[in-house]
């Protein structure tokens, strides 16, 4: 065990020891007593569990005698449960991983290199959509995950609310923004905001302290502070990058004045009353989700990932009437381009698996056309393989949903990825603790210089 791993694992054990005492008694993981022909597979999305059960059924039919046991936990508890499983040796054979956690899991040495397993060593980058496979390679060049899906972000909006405000679809499709006056995006948000007396945000007498419906739903900082469904499209469209290189950068760039100005503008929307405040959005365990804010009539628009398509297009108002939902792309920024964070999940094999070769067979199947076509037809997420994505586009089009606001970023190359670095276990909470006060209004973007120094010291200590 390396010095870096010793230090990280010590913090890891301390953080989850209390939880592991409880979960270690459950015995639901791969440790110890699981039959050798059973693959324990964990994921966090309840919308996707039925989809992957279909994949499991297909896998079992093609591999007689094999069995896949799927366990689903909610996002808010998933990684805590996983951490407890690592410590108690009751974790899964295979689990869905998030790229923001890759650095932490490599530090902990809990991932099996897939190049060493018979079923996965022949996987090729070109079998998947551009960028996805490269996300799941470590600093050592070895592959640790097989891509399962991908997402970008766009605005979901309530067509009744935009029509009532006189905001046209054409306006929504061509929004611009800048950190000085907010561009046409801020004008749209002001127009969509209504106070308790019916006065709109761009009208005289608007009371920002008594807002009935906000132009933009509030969201938490997302994925440990990286702002995917929050501020990331704006920082991405000013010619700025999180780190000096990605993945495995050696320096963060939050001391850049232009990103600090952008962050001040974004959270300033809450101060102006155009975006739901922190008291509403809170964090991902106690806040009210953006989709629920829209359903309740408390917000007209929400920025969200493509993995939320099925949720938003099922929204109903407080009377149970379906909400008419539209999609709009992220705005054109000062760089002259739109931007979206590009995220890709993957399936990985735990080093604790008692049968890693069998686990590798399941991971290879999850990343194959046989499973990915099932995923594409489900409409739940965008699959990682081209054929599955073609099926997904056809399914959404048949349902009357134009997913161009999401796919355009991949087509025109305006994506950027979540920073993948070492020391993720420490960096993630630092990010969260720095951005929450800015949202609350008790700190400004300039405070990110302190955050930047703290994160860079962590990277330097292990370089």
28 inside domain: no
26 inside domain: no
Taking only the tens place, the pLDDT of each residue in 268-300 is: 999 999 999 998 886 545 568 999 999 999 999
Give the end of a domain, one of 362, 386, 407. 407
Assign 50 to helix, strand or coil: helix
352 inside domain: yes
181-186, Cβ contacts within 8 angstroms, sequence gap of 24 or more: 182/265, 182/269, 183/331, 184/331, 185/331, 186/269, 186/274
Looking at the fold, whether 130 and 188 belong to one and the same domain comes out as no
Looking at the fold, whether 300 and 393 belong to one and the same domain comes out as no
332 inside domain: yes
Give the end of a domain, one of 362, 382, 407. 407
Q: How many structural domains comprise the chain?
A: 2
Give the end of a domain, one of 407, 435, 452. 407
Looking at the fold, whether 187 and 231 belong to one and the same domain comes out as yes
pTM above 0.85, yes or no: yes
161 inside domain: yes
Looking at the fold, whether 73 and 121 belong to one and the same domain comes out as yes
**Per-residue confidence (pLDDT) for residue 446, from 0 to 100:** 98
Looking at the fold, whether 303 and 354 belong to one and the same domain comes out as no
Looking at the fold, whether 351 and 426 belong to one and the same domain comes out as no
**Residues 215, 275: contact at Cβ < 8 Å?**
yes
Domain with 447 in it: 152-341+419-461
Looking at the fold, whether 161 and 278 belong to one and the same domain comes out as yes
Looking at the fold, whether 390 and 426 belong to one and the same domain comes out as no
CATH number at residue 275: 3.40.190.10
82 inside domain: yes
Taking only the tens place, the pLDDT of each residue in 178-204 is: 999 999 999 999 999 999 999 999 999
**Per-residue confidence (pLDDT) for residue 224, from 0 to 100:** 59
Looking at the fold, whether 430 and 363 belong to one and the same domain comes out as no
**Per-residue confidence (pLDDT) for residue 282, from 0 to 100:** 67
200 inside domain: yes
**Residues 107, 458: contact at Cβ < 8 Å?**
no
Q: Which residues of the chain have pLDDT under 70?
A: 1-35, 221-224, 282-287, 463
33 inside domain: no
Looking at the fold, whether 221 and 304 belong to one and the same domain comes out as yes
Question: Phi and psi dihedrals of 215, rounded to 5?
Answer: -65, -40
Using the 8-state DSSP alphabet, how is residue 197 labeled?
Answer: T
**Per-residue confidence (pLDDT) for residue 13, from 0 to 100:** 44
Looking at the fold, whether 243 and 255 belong to one and the same domain comes out as yes
**Per-residue confidence (pLDDT) for residue 222, from 0 to 100:** 59
Residue 416 tokens read as 């950027």
Looking at the fold, whether 106 and 244 belong to one and the same domain comes out as no
């Amino acid at each position: 065990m390396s010095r870096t791993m010793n230090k990280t694992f010590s913090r890891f054990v301390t953080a989850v020891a209390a939880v592991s005492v409880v979960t270690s008694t459950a015995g639901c993981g791969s440790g110890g007593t699981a039959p050798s022909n059973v693959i324990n597979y964990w994921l966090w999305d309840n919308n996707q569990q039925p989809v992957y059960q279909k994949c499991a059924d297909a896998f079992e039919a093609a591999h007689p005698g094999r069995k896949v046991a799927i366990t689903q936990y909610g996002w808010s508890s998933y990684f805590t449960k996983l951490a407890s499983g690592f410590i108690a040796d009751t974790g899964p054979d295979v689990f869905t991983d998030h790229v923001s956690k890759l650095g932490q899991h490599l530090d902990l040495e809990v991932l099996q290199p897939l190049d060493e397993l018979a079923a996965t060593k022949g996987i090729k980058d070109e079998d998947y959509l551009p960028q996805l496979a490269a996300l799941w390679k470590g600093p050592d060049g070895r592959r640790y995950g097989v891509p399962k899906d991908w997402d970008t972000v766009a605005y979901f909006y309530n067509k009744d609310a935009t029509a009532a405000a006189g905001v046209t679809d054409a306006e929504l499709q061509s929004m611009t923004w800048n950190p000085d006056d907010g561009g046409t995006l801020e004008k749209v948000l002001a127009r969509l905001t209504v106070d308790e007396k019916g006065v709109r945000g761009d009208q005289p007498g608007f009371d920002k302290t008594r807002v009935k419906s906000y132009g933009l739903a509030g969201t938490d900082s997302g994925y440990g502070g990286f702002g995917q469904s929050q501020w990331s499209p704006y920082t991405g469209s000013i010619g700025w990058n999180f780190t000096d290189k990605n993945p495995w950068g050696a320096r963060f760039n939050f001391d850049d004045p232009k990103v600090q100005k952008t962050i001040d503008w974004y959270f300033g929307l809450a101060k102006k009353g155009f975006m739901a405040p922190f008291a509403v959005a809170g964090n991902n365990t106690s806040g009210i989700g953006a989709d629920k804010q829209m359903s309740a009539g408390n917000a007209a628009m929400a920025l969200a990932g493509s993995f939320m398509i099925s949720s938003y297009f099922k929204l109903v108002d407080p009377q149970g009437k379906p909400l008419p939902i539209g999609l709009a792309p992220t705005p054109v920024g000062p760089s002259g381009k739109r931007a979206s964070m590009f995220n890709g999940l993957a399936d990985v094999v735990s080093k604790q698996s008692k049968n890693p070769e069998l686990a590798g067979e399941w991971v290879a199947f999850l990343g194959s056309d046989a499973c990915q076509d099932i995923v594409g037809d489900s409409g739940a997420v965008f699959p990682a393989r081209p054929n599955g994505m073609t099926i997904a586009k056809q399914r959404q089009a048949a349902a009357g949903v134009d997913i161009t606001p999401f796919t355009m970023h991949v087509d025109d190359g305006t994506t950027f990825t979540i920073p993948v670095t070492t020391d993720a276990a420490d960096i993630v909470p630092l990010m969260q603790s720095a951005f929450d006060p800015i949202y609350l209004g008790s700190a400004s973007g300039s405070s990110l210089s302190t955050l930047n120094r703290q994160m860079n010291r962590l990277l330097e200590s292990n370089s």
